[in-house]
Amino acid sequence: MPGALRLYLDFASPYSYFALGSLARLAEEHGRALELRPILLWAVFKQQGVVNPLETPARRRYFLEDVTRSAAFFGLPFRVPEPLQISAHLAGRLFHAWTAARPQDGLQLASEIFEAFFARGEDIADPAVLTALPCLAGETPETIRAMIDGAEGRQRLSEAVDEANAAGVTGVPFVTQDGESFFGADRLPQIAWRLQHPRSVA
């Protein structure tokens, strides 16, 4: 059976948002499962001793230019977040807690979180924004808040961060596929190519 595509993403990352839909379509076209691993990239960088790249003015300027261009390239609605950088730990906890028993709903939840933040400019660091996500309409606000604040989501998010560090994640989106790694939304063509031309294994 073909191996899954594992996607490490951060809900505060516009490039993760840009890549998600295209990668989901590629996985479906090639009969591959798509495993989503929301992480906190800042926490991975902290473990690796990496300085926040957007603290450099030149990189920050380029980032702002590139994300706007990339959104247009992928045909996605996009607003530059304000503030530009947040910690998406609440969204990450919610995802991990919600999908523990509903792995089939992970793509929908991830898509709705990204759309709230990057398409509508809503603050996903606000529990009220997460509570209002359409796919959670069947849950009470108290249940959703318990998933955000509870031990399971915290633990699973922490484990995902450790797993990402062990996997050598250097940024997001980061895809592992049949023993290979691909970093960046601009690697989608290479992922598609590799799915069509599997690497020979000795």
Neighbours of 114 (CB within 10 A): 23
Quote the pLDDT of residue 2.
80
**DSSP summary character for residue 169:** -
Closest alpha carbon to 11 in 3, 1, 20, 2: 20
Angle between helices 151-166 and 41-48 (to 10 degrees): 50
Quote the pLDDT of residue 119.
98
Quote the pLDDT of residue 1.
61
Element (H, E) at 158: helix 151-166
Distance (Å, whole) CA 135 – CA 133: 6
Neighbours of 141 (CB within 10 A): 13
pLDDT, tens only, 138-176: 999 999 999 999 999 999 999 999 999 999 999 999 999
pLDDT, tens only, 1-38: 689 999 999 999 999 999 999 999 999 999 999 999 99
pTM for this entry = 0.96
pLDDT, tens only, 63-72: 999 999 999 9
Tokens linked to 14: 């516009």
**DSSP summary character for residue 118:** I
The class (CATH top level) of 5-196 is alpha beta
CB-based contact 173:23 (threshold 8 Å): yes
CB-based contact 78:99 (threshold 8 Å): no
What backbone phi and psi angles, to 5 degrees, belong to 48?
-90, -5
**DSSP summary character for residue 9:** E
Judged against a pLDDT cut of 90, whether residue 117 lies above it is answered with yes
pLDDT, tens only, 39-93: 999 999 999 999 888 989 999 999 999 999 999 999 999 999 999 999 999 999 9
pLDDT range class, residue 201, cuts 50, 70, 90 = low
